[in-house]
Structure 1
Amino acid sequence: MALRTDVSKKMQQRAMYRRTRRNRKLRYRPARWLNRASMRKEGRLAPSLKSKLDSHLREKKQVEAILPISHWKVETASFDIHKITNPTVTGAGYQQGAQLGYYNVKAYVLQRDNYKCQSGRKTKHSAKLHVHHKVFRSQGGTDAPSNLITLCETCHNDLHAGKFELKVKRSKTKHATEIGIVKVQLKQCWDFEETFGYVTKFKREQVLGLPKTHYYDAVSICCENGELVQQAKHVLRKRHVASGDYQQTKGVRSEKWIPVGKLFGLKKHDFVQTPQGTGFVKGKRSSGYFALETILGNKVHACANIKKNTVRISARTTTLTQPMEAARILVTKVPSILAVN
């Protein structure tokens, strides 16, 4: 399962389009962001985090739709945020953070930056110094020292005026923090038995004698002592696609029209069986010769004739599935328990 990382960018793009509509010579549309209940409700999650949480719950719902799940076992992980930022920290060092001995965060940031502007610009800097948020608090930034930088008053004003851009390094603890938040939310809305990595490693290495892979970890999670495993002949592959076809043309100058909707009774991503092969419809042609592919994107046939002896096995959905041969293993004695790693 691959989690989306473009939600924040999509939200910013949608806000830009919304502001553009308000500035057009159309009916006046007042700003309404402050009166939206979703921004004031208790326990609200940022859209990027909510997307990750919903992805986990969607996977759970889909598995329960195809398998008789009676019990869930989930391996959770915890991260030492302090250890990530300072690998040498030990013992009492956890109580002695970077701001130890400073009056407040601002004093620490000024001292850390040697009371000098950190913009890197070759210009005349003013004597007055400001502490600037690299990522604004309105955009999810925090008051942590890693998100603060020292700028002189001239550079600070020019930055907000858009005269130059500040290079922002990605936080080392962003993903670890997000995993911790999603884990807490999952425990509140999902009833599962929690297990940990060291338990999985012991059962995989010492009991089952299996190498390190994600699917072997999943088998180790749901296996109990003394249970046997056997190699599976097939594995169900899955792929998410858009609900509709949004690209209407292609080419350097968009001079070629792409057939949209049904053509010869078939849509893109329909799973069909033809004399030339079985696969998902990748490209449609008005001549009736379609391109077919597997769920992994591998070519089945470039010009399969779908006008004769063609059977549609399944219609297009947003979640495509296809059983494929693979060297996988399954639990033999626990068919109603699924482990998630």
Structure 2
Amino acid sequence: MQVYILDASGRPLMPTTRIGHIERLLNRGMARIVTKVPFTVQLKYATAGITQPLYGGTDSGRTNIGEAVVDNNGSVLYKAHVETRNKEVPKLMAARKQHRQASRRGERLRKKRRAVKCGTITEFPEGHMIPGCKKPVMIKDIINTESRFANRKRVTGWITPTVRQLVQTHLNMVHKICRILPITDWTIETNRFAFMKMDDGGIRGVDFQNGRLKNYKDSHEYIYSIQEGKCAYCNSSIEHYHHIVPRSKGGSDTPENLIGLCNLCHDKVHKGELSLENTGLKKKYAALSVLNQAIPYIIEGLVEMFGEENVHFCEGYETQMARDSLGIDKDHPEDAACIALLGSGITEVHNNVETCEIRQFRRHDRQHIKAQRERTYYLNGKAVCKNRHKRFEQKDDSLEEFRKKHPSDVKRLTVKKSVRYYNAADRLMPGTVFSCQGQRQVMSGQLTGGKYLRAVGDIKTNYPSSQCLVLKRNAGLVYL
């Protein structure tokens, strides 16, 4: 068992396996426990602070990351497997977009009601040119403000939220390890993936420039050419490029997953009135694509931490050769140990430390509304329709459709209004560390309005919150 040690000022020292000596220091009040996982103590007296060179290594990934630290003798002092939440980021961005659009839609409806009340409704039969738009927009009631996208500018070095989160996760993990170990050098495995070659091993040289989208601006222009600009159902002009497998479910932006539709047919597809064969492609190599973009920024962060001369690189084939020569099984922490060895130049390894399991949780959730129930109409106690008008992708009948089908029953309907449920501002977030009956647990969720807590890895036990002691609120990267 490795015990990680901090000096009196909080700087990391060399770890030790002298458990008995650490126990005596704790009993005499000469040290205190900082964390139990991993077990870290801080000394209360002055020390010389002498350390040795330590070498860290990262086996980068999108969902699974391996981390390891070795010393001059090839002994592994730290190993960790990190499970990230990077795949959640696109879903959260899509949800934020929906909330933003709903808010702006509410603003437009409010303006429209005010225009009706004041008698200032204006019609533009030929369309109105809104600042920021390339072509006239058909407006029936009011003049909209300047398009929001016209005011958005990306700063130099902008990267997508998914890539940015992955870069921050890698660097935060390195910072976390450096708080308990005096690491001097770091090594990272760098790979650039050629996706066309992964699909077709026969691709060589200039073939990379002669893909199917050559001479086309993007996938939309390619689909427009293939379908000759006509909707796949009614031969009207293409107005929308529909994803056969939705992007929210992992659908790709490749031509195999796109089909050109007019707006009318597109609405029918989402309402279930028209069906498409669910044959689109899911995002292939999505994790590798994100890594391709993230690696340069991770390297930049490592250079800032350790200095250019102390950051080393290796390729995937080198890691495999080192793993085979040392007889180590393939795993993310084991690969990280091999990567650390490659950066240090050490050719032997003494791997006798347990792997730490780390999971990443969402730290902040400022969403005020937890859930919102739809307006529901009942007939003789049975729900028969929802909402006055059909919402996007609604399968059930709306009140408008029910009125057409059963006009004589409309007056007999009872209404249950839309209800909002709100989040408490001071609620505990998943990832909070708590203790119940002396056992350390990591919270995965709450039940019955927070009266009971659930723990990671234990889906059956309900821990009464009144009997639980919160040790540490969610810190993002949490040791399980």
| Counterparts in 2 of 1:242 and 1:63: CA distance versus 1, 3 Å | same
Q: Distance in 1 between matches of 2:432 and 2:287?
A: 36
Are 2:158 and 1:44 aligned?
Answer: yes
Instruction: For residue 351 of structure 2, give the secondary structure of its aligned residue in structure 1.
Output: strand
Show the counterpart of 2:202.
88
Larger of the two Rg values belongs to structure: 2
Of 449, 457, 464, which aligns to 1:297? Answer: 457
Q: Distance in 2 between matches of 1:10 and 1:213?
A: 34
Instruction: For residue 441 of structure 2, give the secondary structure of its aligned residue in structure 1.
Output: strand
Of 267, 284, 289, which aligns to 1:177? Answer: 289
For residue 237 of structure 1, what is the amino acid of its counterpart?
Answer: I
Show the counterpart of 1:330.
none
Q: Distance in 1 between matches of 2:447 and 2:187?
A: 43
CA contact (8 A) 2:188 2:314 kept: yes
Show the counterpart of 2:34.
none
Show the counterpart of 1:61.
175
Are 2:91 and 1:6 aligned?
Answer: yes
Q: Distance in 2 between matches of 1:67 and 1:76?
A: 24
Q: Distance in 2 between matches of 1:220 and 1:273?
A: 36
Q: Distance in 2 between matches of 1:32 and 1:228?
A: 57
Q: Distance in 2 between matches of 1:110 and 1:243?
A: 41
C-alpha RMSD of the superposition: 5.0
Q: TM-score, normalised by structure 1?
A: 0.62
| Counterparts in 2 of 1:111 and 1:270: CA distance versus 1, 3 Å | closer
Of 223, 226, 229, which aligns to 2:350? Answer: 229
| Counterparts in 2 of 1:32 and 1:65: CA distance versus 1, 3 Å | farther
**How many Å apart are 1:104 and its aligned residue?**
8.4
CA contact (8 A) 1:290 1:302 kept: yes
Match runs of 1:102-181 below 5 Å: 109=222, 113=226, 120-121=232-233, 123=234, 125=235, 146=255, 155-156=261-262, 158=264, 162-164=267-269, 169-172=281-284, 174-181=286-293
**How many Å apart are 1:199 and its aligned residue?**
0.9
Q: TM-score, normalised by structure 2?
A: 0.47
Q: Distance in 1 between matches of 2:423 and 2:282?
A: 42
Of 298, 322, 327, which aligns to 1:203? Answer: 322
Of 246, 268, 279, which aligns to 2:441? Answer: 279
Q: Distance in 1 between matches of 2:363 and 2:203?
A: 46
Instruction: For residue 158 of structure 2, give the secondary structure of its aligned residue in structure 1.
Output: coil
Instruction: For residue 279 of structure 1, give the secondary structure of its aligned residue in structure 2.
Output: strand
Q: Distance in 2 between matches of 1:105 and 1:262?
A: 47
**How many Å apart are 1:210 and its aligned residue?**
0.8
**How many Å apart are 1:279 and its aligned residue?**
2.3
Are 2:202 and 1:77 aligned?
Answer: no
Sequence identity percentage = 16
**How many Å apart are 1:258 and its aligned residue?**
11
Show the counterpart of 1:332.
none
For residue 150 of structure 2, what is the amino acid of its counterpart?
Answer: L
